[in-house]
Amino acid sequence: MTRPGLLLALGLGSVLLAACYLADEEPLPTQDIVTSIPWTVGEETSYTILDNDDEVLGTGVLRIDQEDGQFRLSQHYQNPDFDDRSSVLVDPETLKPVEGERVITGEHGVLRIEVHYSDGVAEIERIATEEGKDEERRIDRLDVPEHAYDTGASLFLWRTIPMQVDYRVAYRSMAMAVVGKSQENRVTLRVLRQEMVEVPAGTFDAWRVEIRAPGGVKQTAWYAADSARRLLKYDNGQNTFVLESVKEE
């Protein structure tokens, strides 16, 4: 898998970062979207990542920890060519970001991205170390608008919206720790319906949540229709996550 492919495997690539909207409708105004926190600290969910032909591309783990009274929302993706670890430290009630980090390790080098949020500004430092080349370092700063969340928390964030048919909401997504550059865009979610979904971990009643982007691009996430609302399956248009197991401490 190439580095761009790995970004898409994360479910956090450029598709999500575009100005999302519902077709033939006026864009929704953005707002804070967190209504309830459904998880417990120490939850860890493991996934297999598939391509469009259902061939295995790699594995992924989502984990929730507590750090100084805040949540650390972590992701770890692996395949034979890359190791990709990222996390976002967020406020425990609002899930607004405090800091984020991402480290991608490949055969020929390491890419590290660190983000710090303070007083309405995000500072992003990107450090690339490649074999046989000088270290590349870049720092960007970006104003953080109202109703903004770090894109690296997306798969966790979507669990917190009201799960009811045709619920729609829009917010701002800060793509800092994901792509390593200053980028902020609108994301729109729509809860479509409840349906059964089969994954390696079992068969579950699930809420189907849709994310739409310009150009007819569509992504879909399925969350369990229970109090925990764990991510069961996620299709970002190029790769699909399917739940393998759940571990709680």
pLDDT, tens only, 73-97:
999 999 888 899 999 999 999 999 9
For residues 103-129, average pLDDT: 90
In this predicted model, which residue has the larger pLDDT, 186 or 222? 222
Longest dimension (CA), the chain: 54
pLDDT band at 26 (very low <50, low <70, confident <90, very high): low
**What residue spans define the domains of the chain?**
3-247
The reported pLDDT for the residue numbered 1 is: 34
Q: How many CA atoms lie within 13 A of 139 on its CB side?
A: 4
pLDDT over threshold 50, residue 3 = no
Phi, psi (degrees; rounded to nearest 5) at 70: -115, 165
Mean pLDDT of 169-196: 78
| pLDDT confidence of residue 214 | 47
pLDDT of residue 81: 85
- Provide the token pair at 48: 């297999």
Q: Residue 147 and residue 160: Cα distance in Å, rounded?
A: 15
Task: Count Cα atoms within 13 angstroms, Cβ side, for 199.
Answer: 29
The winner for highest mean pLDDT among 12-26, 73-87, 208-222 is 73-87
What pLDDT is stored for residue 30 in this prediction? Answer: 92
Q: How far is 232 from 85, CA to CA, in rounded Å?
A: 20
State both tokens at 189: 């979610």
